[in-house]
Amino acid sequence: MNPLGIYIHIPYCLHKCGYCDFNSHPENQEESEVYVPALLLEIEHYAQKLAPQTVPTVFFGGGTPTLLPPASLDKILGKVKQHFNLSADCEITIEANPATIKQETLEQIRSSGFNRISIGVQSFDLDELKLLERVHNEEEIHTTVDRARLAGFDNLSLDLMSGLPGQSPAIWQSHLQQALDKKPEHISAYGLTIEPTTSFFKLQERGLLTLPPEETHLEMFQTTIETLQSAGYEQYEISNFSRHGFECRHNLNYWDNGEYLGLGAGASSYLKGERFKNTNLPSRYIREVQAKGSAVESTEKLDLLHAMGETIMLGLRRLKGISIEDFENRFQISFKNVYGKVVDPLLNEGLITFNQNRMALSRKGLFIADSVILKFLA
């Protein structure tokens, strides 16, 4: 039986950030009081449907999970523990935003069993934070990290964002350094991308938002790798770095194209070769779960070619790449027969490497990862 990752979506935020295309909605206390019981129903629904599987990771994401009262988070996690077989060393992550969390709250969350915290820092500069429409300031970042440590979180991740309008590589380097000063076990460093559903997109269309040029993005990426590696962090995925043994196991399961169950508004699942996704709108999610226990709005059974393409697309994001042997065992097919013509030119251009029967992006390939990966999906 395959291990199962469980993702729980809490869709509320204090304010919608200008770049955000996640399924997040304005904080709504009345609605969230009904949302939590709906989540509990959905957990019970799937617990009855699924055969017992070991759960090595649980991830509460959002939105802003820490907007819910700790008692509600405790109830949801308690329900998961009651109905699923969590492994003894289960990684239980909660995403948190500075400015939404008090010392007492962190202590309660920690004692509920959350053992990993991922803090959405994005930037240490007040003007950049304002531009991103984040509701915290620099001081609150320091306070939140210090409070999380005091509460006993010894597995802590910071999220940072590069490539902001007007940002130079030197400014980005100073954010990385400030993050390192907090001694996190893990750092996620993503480049800003502008998605069509965001208010940033509209600003960009009107010429009011200009991102740094491509070569600056690449320079920042290079700076990220060099700065974090020389501070002892291993780059284990394109945008993710950790101290040894602190990789995010929940995300490793995604990149391995493993099975996961997503619960809550807009959450996606992947089980037995099938992807399904819940409806986004929390009010609708609540109604549907109350009526039938689940709120799936779309289902997709991947055909063989798509399933193989996804496995490569996800696996190549990891620095160690994919095991050809695992791939062939999984799909009962010769890798070379399917992808030989794709692989040869990429090898000739030095964009991928083969080592001990694993295929991975080369250093050169890492910088144009998306276009290399696309070749396997064509």
Q: Which residues bind ligand SF4 (CB under 6 A)?
A: 13, 16-17, 20, 22, 24, 62-64, 97, 120
301 membership: H or E segment, kind and range: strand 296-301
- Minimum distance of ligand SF4 from residue 27's CB (angstroms): 10
Select 56 or 98, whichever has its Cβ closest to ligand SF4: 98
- Minimum distance of ligand SF4 from residue 12's CB (angstroms): 8
Strand partners, 60: 8, 94
Select 24 or 311, whichever has its Cβ closest to ligand SF4: 24
d(CA 129, CA 275): 35
- Residues 308/338, Cβ–Cβ less than 8 Å: yes
Q: Which residue is nearest to ligand SF4 (CB)?
A: 20
d(CA 288, CA 51): 23
Select 265 or 312, whichever has its Cβ closest to ligand SF4: 265
- Minimum distance of ligand SF4 from residue 177's CB (angstroms): 23
- Residues 42/75, Cβ–Cβ less than 8 Å: no
Select 21 or 256, whichever has its Cβ closest to ligand SF4: 21
Residues in the chain, overall count: 378
- Interaxial angle between packed helices 304-315 and 369-377, expressed in degrees from 0 to 180 and rounded to the nearest 10: 160
- Minimum distance of ligand SF4 from residue 280's CB (angstroms): 13
Which three-class secondary structure state does DSSP give residue 156? strand
- Residues 182/158, Cβ–Cβ less than 8 Å: yes
- Residues 172/159, Cβ–Cβ less than 8 Å: no
Peptide bond into 293 cis (omega under 30): no
- Minimum distance of ligand SF4 from residue 201's CB (angstroms): 14
d(CA 184, CA 354): 32
Select 141 or 313, whichever has its Cβ closest to ligand SF4: 141
Select 196 or 245, whichever has its Cβ closest to ligand SF4: 196
- Minimum distance of ligand SF4 from residue 24's CB (angstroms): 4
- Minimum distance of ligand SF4 from residue 18's CB (angstroms): 9
Select 20 or 43, whichever has its Cβ closest to ligand SF4: 20
Report residue 99: phi and psi, to 5°. 85, -5
